[in-house]
Amino acid sequence: NMAISERVCSIVAALSTTNLFEVKLAIIEHEIAVNRIIECMYRYPQNSHIQMAGSEIISLISVDEYIMSDIAGLGGIDRLSTAMQQHLDNSLVQEKACEALKMLIPGVENDILMGNDVGKWIIVSMRRHKENSKVQIQGISALFRFPLFIR
């Protein structure tokens, strides 16, 4: 159910924002939780709340290369790229997706980044939201984390 998925994503996103390492660790240790978040993003691409919350969760739990690689392997990069494409006019989705990409890029294979046109969608987002400083900051931060030969 989309309404339930939206609420669950919002709750997990809220829990992820805590500074308590134990809470983040609990979310990360349960690969099923991460898988479910990405699954919700796949199932409801049209729901901006799920895309925004999913992006925020991905951003907050991307604490090491193993987790980043795991998220990418579960389709996280694809979901973020798709969220940016389908919610071009939603600056909050764009901001959160750029922030999540900023966190993930260092731990993701280059072919996954290129295959999902990540750089292109970041630039499209920044052009679309020229006046939004948060989108600009997160977008440029993500682009600076790209490997040099992809830029």
Using CB atoms within 10 A of its CB, is residue 30 exposed (0-12), middle (13-18) or buried (19+)?
exposed
| Single pTM value for the model | 0.84
pLDDT tens, residue order, the chain (151 aa): 777 677 766 666 665 665 656 666 666 666 667 788 899 999 999 999 999 999 988 998 887 888 888 899 999 999 999 999 999 999 999 999 999 999 999 988 899 999 999 999 999 999 999 999 999 999 999 999 988 655 5
Output the pLDDT for position 13: 64
Output the pLDDT for position 90: 98
The residue among 4, 85, 16, 19 whose CA lies nearest residue 49 is: 4
Which amino acid, 124? V
Distance CA 25, CA 28 (A): 5
